[in-house]
Amino acid sequence: MSVNKILIVDDEQAIVRLLSMSLKSDGYDTCTASSGEEALDVFEKQSPDIVVTDIKMPGMDGLELLKRIKERDPDKEVIIVTGHGDIDSTITALQYGASDFINKPVRDEALAIALERAQTKIRIREQLASYTQDLEEKVAEATVEIRRKSNFQRLLIHSSHDAIVAFDQDWQIVVYNPEAARMFEKRARNVLNKMTIDDLYPPELAASFRKEARNGSDDRGDIPWKEMVLETRNQKQIPVRYATSVLHEKNEFMGIVNFFQDLTEIKRLEKELIQSERMAAIGQTVSGLAHYVKNILIGLKGGSYVVDVGFQHSNMEKVKSGWQTIQKNIERVANLTQDMLTYAKERHPEVKLCAPNEIVTEVKDLVSEFAKAHDIEIITRCDPEMGQMWLDPGTVHRALLNLVNNAIDACMEEDDLDRQFKVEIRTGKTEAGAAVFEIEDNGCGMDEETKRKLFTPMFSSKGGKGTGLGLLVTKKLVEEHHGTIDIDTRLGYGSLFTMTLPERPETGRDENDK
């Protein structure tokens, strides 16, 4: 705002006229009055920016005029024109808020300086008012934004499905949402700013959070999620998942926030799911076992019938044939029982210094006659570098025998009778020194569905001939030996089983070093 209008007040008309002409020549707009009373009327009507008034006037003097103007508008500037030696009036003028004072006779230079000072004050005041207004607007905007964010956070905390409890640096509760009220069964109005961590939590839990606040947080002040059973002050036990954030400001501890997720419903569903899976597994296992046992019983009945017929007709050949059938099914029962015991029982490998190639030869000798009877060739290609190794020979023998028998069965199930069936057993070592056994056949092979279900309990690709436990037992024995078993198969072209067993696992080493 530019200062343009100046009110000149003096009872001497010549001075008023002279000052008015001078100021107009400097670009100012002027108005005049010859007394204090007239000056107030002009001031009300024209609202000048600066008033230049003589101090000695009849009626209302300059000091009274100054006082009245400041009462109407304290932002207006008043310059007092005084005579020489009138110090008391000058002091009073300053006390009333005069902008400046100049002596009579008024010199142009002195008036110009006084006007400049008055204008400077007006500009500073206007700038300050503008800055103040801007600041107030910005504060108002910031206040609205802070209030909006605060309301959002409050709503977020209030509607959270997690129980949220925050403590300040004195461990007093300062945030406590409705889910926390439900979990701890205490109303917010009885907790907020009234209870401490020791009042809300059991002693050991409060001590744990204090300790975590001191030592356990990461760089962001967060302590990872954990699970526990929360026991409230009312002896209510709730399975929860919880996390803690430790609050710091300029490295000073400000408090912690606890988040609790009630896992009661999840745990209940998990328990129901486990129970359902267990019941399904039991049903599947019982069904499979019943079917297999039924087949064995049929075999036993058939054998006993043939034996009876043989005795009735004194035909020893029939007795012998029936007895062989009975023996075969007794062996099946024995194998089934052994598989079930092996699968159910936890077992540690019994490592000994043994020759893997000799075990392969033993397995070959066991199955050769049976394989030969069905025109299946058993071939062994043993690595002479195998030598002796620290392995569980029982695991190697049992697993190899299962896999070779499966390979023979796969050859017997293939419909292409023109094919020359063979089962090849190979041995070798990995670079890490683990023993490798490969059992490859050119039998019926498997499709992807059969391969995927191969290690499912009671699943057998042999129909009624298999127990559905053989490969499960083999896999269990291999895993107990910290080994692996891999399958490469193609329907109609055969299968390759690769069993890898690391030498001298830790459990066996200790036992054999004794």
CA atoms within 13 A on the CB side of 122: 22
Is the pLDDT assigned to residue 510 strictly greater than 80? no
pLDDT of residue 458: 59
pLDDT of residue 44: 94
pLDDT of residue 84: 58
d(CA 491, CA 436): 24
d(CA 231, CA 59): 91
d(CA 81, CA 83): 7
Is the pLDDT assigned to residue 512 strictly greater than 60? no
pLDDT digits 0-9 by tens, 102-117: 888 888 888 899 999 9
Window from 76-90, 310-324, 418-432 with minimum mean pLDDT: 76-90
CB of 40 closer than 8 Å to CB of 65: yes
Largest CA distance in the chain: 169
CA-to-CA dists, residue 115 to 7, 15, 27, 35, 48, angstroms: 12, 17, 13, 21, 13
The average pLDDT across 172-196 equals 93
Q: Which two tokens stand for residue 371?
A: 């394989």
Distance of CA 146 to the CA centre of its chain: 28
pLDDT of residue 379: 95
Is the pLDDT assigned to residue 162 strictly greater than 50? yes
pLDDT of residue 248: 85
pLDDT of residue 463: 54
Phi and psi at residue 364, to the nearest 5°:
-60, -45
pLDDT of residue 477: 86
d(CA 396, CA 382): 14
CATH numeric code, 158-263: 3.30.450.20
Q: Mean pLDDT of all residues in the chain? A: 85
Q: For 193, left (φ over 0), alpha (ψ -120 to 50), or beta?
A: left
CB of 258 closer than 8 Å to CB of 169: no
d(CA 390, CA 383): 16
The average pLDDT across 357-366 equals 92
Report which of 457, 488, 483 is spatially closest to residue 470, judged by C-alpha positions: 457
Is the pLDDT assigned to residue 203 strictly greater than 80? yes
User: Which distant-in-sequence residues (6+ apart) come within 8 Å of 311 by Cβ?
Assistant: 319
The domain locations on the chain are 5-129, 158-263, 267-344, 352-502
Residue 172 has what DSSP assignment?
B
Report which of 240, 246, 280 is spatially closest to residue 261, judged by C-alpha positions: 240
The single-letter code of the amino acid at 472 is: L
Report which of 406, 384, 423, 381 is spatially closest to residue 471, judged by C-alpha positions: 406
CB of 453 closer than 8 Å to CB of 434: no
Q: Could you tell me the pLDDT band of residue 278, with boundaries at 50, 70 and 90?
A: low
Residue 58 has what DSSP assignment?
S
Q: Which residue has the higher pLDDT, 377 or 215?
A: 377
Phi and psi at residue 454, to the nearest 5°:
-55, -35
d(CA 403, CA 441): 10
Q: Which of 292-301, 410-419, 441-450 has the highest mean pLDDT?
A: 441-450
Q: Could you tell me the pLDDT band of residue 461, with boundaries at 50, 70 and 90?
A: low
The average pLDDT across 244-273 equals 88
Is the pLDDT assigned to residue 147 strictly greater than 50? yes
d(CA 513, CA 503): 14
CA atoms within 13 A on the CB side of 107: 4
pLDDT of residue 505: 52
Strand order of the β-sheet with 237-249 is 173-176, 163-168, 252-262, 237-249, 222-231
Q: Which residue has the higher pLDDT, 136 or 82?
A: 136
Alpha-carbon Rg of the chain, whole angstroms? Answer: 53
d(CA 292, CA 468): 9
The average pLDDT across 201-210 equals 87
pLDDT of residue 514: 36
Is the pLDDT assigned to residue 39 strictly greater than 90? yes
The average pLDDT across 156-164 equals 91
Is the pLDDT assigned to residue 430 strictly greater than 70? yes
pLDDT of residue 507: 46
CATH numeric code, 352-502: 3.30.565.10
The average pLDDT across 347-358 equals 89
Out of 3.20.20.70, 3.40.50.2300, 3.30.2350.10, 3.90.550.10, the CATH code matching 5-129 is 3.40.50.2300
Phi and psi at residue 81, to the nearest 5°:
-100, 120
The average pLDDT across 191-213 equals 89
Residue 463's Cβ-count burial label (10 Å; 0-12, 13-18, 19+) is exposed
d(CA 415, CA 412): 8
Is the pLDDT assigned to residue 495 strictly greater than 80? yes
Q: Which two tokens stand for residue 120?
A: 């400077």
Q: Could you tell me the pLDDT band of residue 43, with boundaries at 50, 70 and 90?
A: very high
pLDDT of residue 487: 93
Q: What is the pTM of this model?
A: 0.44
Is the pLDDT assigned to residue 281 strictly greater than 80? no
pLDDT of residue 513: 39
Phi and psi at residue 95, to the nearest 5°:
-65, -30
Report which of 77, 54, 101 is spatially closest to residue 3, judged by C-alpha positions: 77
d(CA 211, CA 197): 13
Instruction: Indicate the pairing of strand 163-168 with strand 252-262.
Output: antiparallel
